[in-house]
């Protein structure tokens, strides 16, 4: 089966795929099994060679200065000659040039740039359909240009220590002025109404899509933005690729979570998934629920979660809004990966938790409220004022306050001690004021329950004080006995 996938085999879409209501449209603003091909420092697993596949590795033609010559414009030649001229222009664009030295082959670079720009304009203007042969050659040209080994990250093969991804300098590809036009051409081809999906899927096959997904590890954010838009459009237009794309993204997440914790395009992939999840048909398939439990929730574990948490939170909340019964699974998953020493991460988790609770119904809330409010009680007493303050903000949300009020007999005993400790001794004045407001709210909702919790707290405090007094008396007696023995020994000597 895996070999069939690598060979770009296709299957007819299942009924469940065809009923998936896909939310079409770019996930973000656009500015004009795995084959690892994206890192020079990683072992490369190449797919079996396929002479018929345009996405198979293609050796670029040798650079000849005479070959890279400007050609007449497509609009200046008769319609009958445009297809052959189009192929010649694709050949010019298939030459790979050295962009590490900007003073080298300057004329050839300019000819290639102008040719790519003309091809993009040709597609954008809708001047006419291109033949199947031209489509195949164009995808080959795109593959030659974009499928390349990405440079190793600064922490790889350099002897440097691994640093925080947020603190690393962004690597901008010097060849981007040409790559951008290649990506723009591919995007125009995919979104064009003249592009026949049945024909295009022969060239934009599983192998091509897989290599495209691997490029999301590029350090250049401009490239990842184009990849995000193109992959999103492919998912919307090529129904046959949908299960394959989801599985490929799933595998990247697994490798990121359990092996490397290093991948540049997690946020962009999650943005695509946000639109995909929004289009899932109901009732939700078991495959999607497993993806939530095995991939999305464990994505809260890696250290660089802050770099993609906004997109991750959106995806998780989409699941709960689609199927409210998943709220218990999500909340318990968040509690499982709750940070212990990272306060900034706790603030992110509390924000996500509020969004999930806002979509949670009473039955699911009751299933997880005991472990949930034990954790919230610990957050209320956090010495980091942002954590404590963010937890207290839950009581500004009307839906959450309603859930708490319905289950106050369980919730208040769990957090009463934390509230009292904040009032008695929290160093931050803002936290102290918010705690007083929450305490007053409980008192107004159910004064009898509040007094019962206060009585139990006072009894517990008195009992703890008594135990502490007994401990001190025991230590005092032990010290006295030790002193008597020491004195007796001195007399005997």
Res 25: pLDDT: 45
Mean pLDDT of successive 10-residue segments in the chain (493 residues)? 42 46 47 38 37 47 57 80 88 86 83 92 77 92 93 61 59 88 95 90 95 95 96 95 96 95 95 94 93 96 95 96 95 96 95 96 95 96 95 96 96 95 92 95 94 93 88 91 75 46
The sign of the dihedral angle between the CA atoms of 260, 264, 268, 272 is negative
- What angle do helix axes 398-406 and 343-358 make, rounded to 10 degrees? 80
Write the CB contacts of 57 (distance below 8 Å, at least 6 apart in sequence).
46, 49, 147
Radius of gyration of the chain (CA): 31
- Name the nearest CA neighbour of 268 among 310, 321, 301: 310
Global pTM value: 0.81
As a residue count, the chain comes to 493
For residues 104 and 441, give the distance between their C-alpha atoms in angstroms, rounded to a whole number.
73
DSSP characters over 106-127? HHHHHHHHHHHHHHHHHHHHT-
For residue 283, CA distances in Å to 98, 208, 295, 322, 324 come to 53, 32, 20, 9, 12
The sign of the dihedral angle between the CA atoms of 180, 256, 36, 205 is negative
Res 268: pLDDT: 97
Report yes or no: 228 and 272 within 8 Å, Cβ to Cβ.
yes
Res 8: pLDDT: 45
Q: Encoding tokens for residue 156?
A: 């790889």
For residues 41 and 152, give the distance between their C-alpha atoms in angstroms, rounded to a whole number.
6
For residue 90, CA distances in Å to 65, 134, 192 come to 16, 9, 18
For residues 277 and 463, give the distance between their C-alpha atoms in angstroms, rounded to a whole number.
53
Q: Which residue has the tokens 């959106």?
A: 314
Res 161: pLDDT: 54
Can you give the residue ranges of every domain in the chain? 364-483
For residues 326 and 27, give the distance between their C-alpha atoms in angstroms, rounded to a whole number.
24
């Amino acid at each position: 089966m895996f070999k069939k996938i690598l060979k770009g085999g296709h299957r007819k879409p299942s009924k469940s795929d065809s009923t998936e209501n896909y939310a079409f449209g770019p996930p973000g603003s656009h500015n004009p099994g795995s084959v690892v091909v994206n890192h020079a420092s990683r072992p490369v697993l190449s797919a079996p060679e396929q002479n018929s596949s345009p996405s198979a590795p293609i050796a670029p033609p040798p650079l000849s200065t005479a070959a890279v010559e400007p050609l007449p414009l497509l609009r200046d030649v008769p319609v009958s000659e445009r297809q052959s001229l189009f192929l010649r222009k694709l050949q010019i664009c298939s030459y790979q040039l050295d962009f590490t030295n900007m003073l080298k082959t300057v004329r050839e670079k300019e000819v290639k740039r102008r040719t790519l720009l003309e091809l993009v304009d040709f597609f954008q203007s809708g001047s006419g359909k291109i033949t199947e042969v031209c489509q195949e050659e164009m995808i080959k040209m795109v593959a030659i240009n974009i499928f390349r080994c990405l440079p190793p990250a600064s922490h790889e093969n350099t002897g440097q220590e691994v640093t925080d991804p947020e603190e690393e300098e962004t690597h901008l590809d010097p060849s981007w002025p040409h790559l951008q036009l290649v990506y723009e051409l591919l995007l125009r081809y995919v979104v064009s109404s003249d592009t026949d999906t049945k024909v295009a899927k022969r060239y934009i096959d599983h192998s091509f899509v897989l290599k495209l997904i691997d490029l999301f590890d590029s350090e250049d954010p401009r490239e990842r933005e184009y990849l995000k838009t193109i992959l999103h459009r492919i998912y919307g237009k090529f129904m046959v690729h949908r299960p394959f794309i989801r599985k490929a993204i799933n595998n990247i997440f697994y490798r990121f979570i359990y092996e490397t914790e290093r991948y540049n395009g997690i946020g962009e992939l999650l943005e695509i998934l946000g639109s995909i999840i929004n289009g899932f048909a109901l009732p939700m398939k078991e495959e999607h629920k497993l993806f939530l439990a095995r991939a999305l929730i464990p994505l809260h574990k890696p250290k660089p979660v802050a770099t993609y948490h906004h997109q991750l939170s959106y995806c998780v909340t989409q699941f709960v809004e689609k199927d409210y019964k998943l709220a218990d699974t999500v909340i318990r998953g968040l509690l499982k990966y709750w940070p212990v020493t990272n306060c900034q991460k706790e603030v992110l988790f509390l924000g996500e938790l509020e969004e999930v609770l806002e979509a949670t119904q009473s039955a699911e809330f009751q299933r997880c409220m005991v472990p949930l409010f034990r954790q919230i009680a610990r957050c209320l007493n956090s010495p980091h004022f942002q954590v404590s303050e963010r937890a207290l903000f839950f009581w500004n949300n009307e839906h959450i306050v309603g859930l708490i009020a319905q289950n106050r007999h369980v919730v208040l005993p769990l957090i009463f001690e934390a509230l009292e400790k904040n009032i008695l001794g929290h160093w931050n004045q803002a936290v102290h004021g918010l705690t007083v407001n929450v305490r007053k709210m409980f008192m107004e909702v159910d004064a009898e329950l509040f007094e019962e919790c206060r009585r139990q707290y006072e009894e517990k405090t008195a009992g703890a004080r008594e135990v502490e007094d007994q401990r001190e008396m025991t230590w005092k007696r032990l010290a006295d006995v030790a002193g008597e023995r020491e004195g007796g020994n001195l007399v005997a000597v």
